[in-house]
Structure 1
Amino acid sequence: MADSHGPRPPLEPRTDHVEPIYIYHPVRKGPFLSLGRRQKVFESGEERLGIRHWFILDACLVIAGKGFLSSTPESTGRVDLEENGFLTARRYWFFLSDGAAHLDYPVCNNFLEWTPLARQEVAPRWLAIDEPDRPTTNPPLESSFSDISLVVRYTDGYCAISGLNEELRACHLVPQACADWYACHGIYRHFAHGEDYLNITSGPGARPVDDVRQILTLESGLHECTDRPSFVIAPSPPSDKYVCYFFTKRPIGLAEDYHMRTAKIPSRIQGYALFARFAWAMIQVALSLPSCETPVKRRSAEDYDAEDGPDWSPTIGGTHATDGVVEPSSTGDSWVEANVENLDAGFGVQTESSHSDANHHNDDSFSNTHDECSEHDLPSVNPFREREWKMTPSEIQRFKDAKKGLRPFSSFVYDAL
């Protein structure tokens, strides 16, 4: 600093250069995944923005199954690109490996209905962190997450991404809101040391989801950002590093400082836990496809560029969104994409004032489990209203508690309902 006694100049606004990428279903009328391209690459002497091929393939693996991308609505346009290469186009179509038999495949957009992959089905790049020569730490024996959180934050001492040592939060990779799902599927059995580690580390009141092998220390701003979700911690092949990977298609100032920033991951963290977080994030941002009660004619590439798009109202949580429909883009974007972008902007962005998130919850019994894991359904909240009000899972649960007679907020909050 030139003058340590004078005021320092203000920081410039953070910029985030990002362009969308849409992954289309080969039969249905719209995309089922929309992410952001941020990495600068050069093609034919021209600078473009791209996203790793493997990142999209892994996202599609979680949401739909194992398959490949095509640059056209036909499988014959299969993308000829190594997995570490960059996708720079705006649209791609995803086909299952046995696509001839399963063109009209389903997609998963509810994490609690997702069946976790076997460890051997997960790409080795995610599990490389579990190498046997990597040092491990002795786990805490505390009996509640509050105590475990204190130990983890004290042990780590700083945020794994920013390096800050204040406002630290203990972040579950599989969120606390999915505690019952985590226990039901025995996610800890997919870890390198399986169930043996858990059996010797849990205090009498600890839950499986509080396994320290899937709890990472982040500063509060990044904690909230990853719970929106906006980024994941992902491998960065061909290197052996794990990085902060921003995938959302909306511009985020934090991405300028932290996108592709190497994370300092504690030795206790499991690669499968990082993959499970990635799966949760991808399913959270997956788009609902329209129902197909009658056979749908497959469309050509020209249909996706037509000004007059299909009569499709995208769904959010099973409820059709009819408000905020925009006209076709003057730049030639399809009606479908215009509506997807409008919905993302209108309902998918949480307010900066939201303090609660998928990991922060005081009620250990909270879980939106499906029928396989629970005999009793919790009171429901209108899913469209949840997204419209930008409610986080813990906020939603508080309203569910209110229906049971528990009122943690002032009465005027409930009067607004």
Structure 2
Amino acid sequence: MADDPDPTPDFTPEQTARGRALRRAQVPWLLGGALTALALTLVLGLTPAGAGLVTWAGGLFGGSRTAEVLGGAAALAVLGQAVRMPFGARIRAVRARYGLVTQGWGGWALDALRGLGLGLALLLPAALGLYALTGRSPDRWWIPGAVLAALLVTALSFLHPLLIEPVFNRFSSMPAGPLRDALLGLADRDGVRVRDVLVADASRRTTALNAYVSGLGSTRRIVAYDTLLNTAEPREVELVVAHELGHVKHRDVLTGTLLGAAGAAAATVLIGLAANWQPLLDAAGGEPTADPRSLPLLAALAALIGSATGPLQAAASRRIEARADRHALELTDDPEQFIAMQRRLAVANVSDVDPPRLLVLLFGTHPSATRRIAAARAWRPAAAPPAAAPPAG
């Protein structure tokens, strides 16, 4: 990796220091929450404690096999949420000190409950389907399971803007006007069909700026945070949306969905094979996968696979985001405003514009602000074809 560009020309020492200070204040709690949740999952999955938890939770609802599946899955989800909550509360307090939080503690707690409820609504039917498969084919359940996991990821990608996004934000159609016309015109010029341009009421929670394009096919729409519309210049909003259109133009959403489906299928196969490894079964209490008491072991294997593949996913994301930046420059031919937009986003979101390389390699999903600005300065529009020579005579 090349040396990071010097942030000095684009950000004041105060802005650079502020972003670095926020990162240093947040990262220990972010890592602490993730590691604590992973440790809990591994303890429950790789010791008999997890099987005991499933038996206890199922007993609260009658002790049947179905009760153990539902009770065990719910208990794992609730415990996972519970151990992350103190870390999330600390992160919220840190972000509030930097002016990034507009939501009260009650709203924050309500969002956490909404997230838990949504997670259970997705998890419990999936757990029932999983153990229907393990009961029918204890040794080969992962073959149809891989197919169903891929289909589930694909369906969720399509339904996400319709069913999941509205749980946390309210959306309204952007009123008719020059900006709406400019954004629709930008999409039309890019050859991207969008259903609507929506405004998300993000200011109820944060002062951070963002926009995105979500959905596939008939559910695709441009979404802008109201914080972005109230803060940025219209041309800067166009540059943000042009970046997001780049994801659509390069089929990043579709590709991500297909890769996610393939990854879910591969993970299901790995989990199915590993769950039959006798040392793991012995560590978890010896319960076969057909028994609901194996649920914590399967969850632990899924968590390990997710943690191991995280840096690879982050690296792929950085490449995709850099390509979307180039697309925005090609679509708008306006590197100066692109740079202004990157500055505004970094300052408003109190970003660390030059984070440590290790953190970028492990967790960075976007290039740093300094790298994005340096790439914009180095960008040159494609040369126009040479004019035809005038006819002789």
Q: Please report the TM-score for the alignment, with normalisation by the length of structure 1.
A: 0.29
When Rg is computed on C-alpha atoms for both structures, the one with the higher figure is: 2
Q: Please report the TM-score for the alignment, with normalisation by the length of structure 2.
A: 0.30
Structure (1/2) with the larger strand percentage? 1
Q: Which has the higher contact order (CA 8 A, sep 6+)?
A: 2
